[in-house]
Amino acid sequence: MTTSSSIRPILAILVLVVPGMASVPSSQAQETDQAQKTGKSFVEDFSSLDKRRWYVSDGWNNGDHQNCTWAADQVKIADGTLSLSYARRQAKDRQHVCGEIQTYARFSYGTYEARIKAVAGSGFNSSFFTYIGPTHKQPWDEIDFEFLGKDPSTVQLNSYVNGKGGNEKLVPVPGNANAAFNDYAFVWEKDSLRYYVNGKLVHTVTDPAALPSHAQKIYLSLWASDNLASWLGKFSDPTEPVSAQFTRVAFTALGDPCQFPESVACTLK
């Protein structure tokens, strides 16, 4: 997760403001053998939710910045589409519920891809990101695609290395991120990080200080905030439930064949 510079000091104190940081509560933070292993190449078409691959976040939130509680019933699959929803319902100390899934396994260098239709609305964040951190007894590394609902014409890119971010970049999304499905990808290598939108290279990072090095878990999420207005915009409570939708997620390890014909990995040399 990324923040504006004006609120960064506050979030540094909170620490748990990272989307992935609190995604496994302490009672469930035990790492299985599967989670410890480096994940292999895969393509997920969401014909069903593979419970061997995906963990559904349920019953907690990531900190005071998040105004909803993760709830398993906000994660649904129908007709090859994963929907992560946000709705008004009391859950613990929050008045809303929201959806997130995360992989059990950790993944290293390679091509990460997702086909996404994001949510529009001030105060909302639809996310496709990778993360590892203190919750997993590792340094905080992260790579982000974050869709700020206040402006669906762009997507925000960022990376964190050992808890240090500040690498934000906004890039345009043709036709708006909420209007149709678009393809998002990043190619993570030891000496570079390249971001793609609909197969087009939109940003390259080569600064070693901005290049994560630890294997990370993959996260898909939708959440909102009513106290991060300087970054996400003033929260606007929707009158009906809203959903971020995903029709594909894939990982191709470096050196492996691409996992589907339209993959960015098919074009890499």
- Phi/psi for 74 (5° steps) reads -95, 5
Report CA torsion sign: 137, 138, 141, 142.
Answer: negative
Catalytic pick from 44, 100, 113, 146? 146
CA dihedral 200, 203, 209, 213 (to 10 degrees): -20
Measured CA to CA, the distance from residue 66 to residue 123 in angstroms comes to: 10
Burial of 137 (0-12, 13-18, 19+ CB in 10 A): exposed
Active site residue 240: no
Active site residue 113: no
Measured CA to CA, the distance from residue 175 to residue 193 in angstroms comes to: 25
Catalytic pick from 100, 113, 142, 262? 142
* Chain centre distance of CA 257: 24
Q: So which residues are the catalytic ones?
A: 142, 146
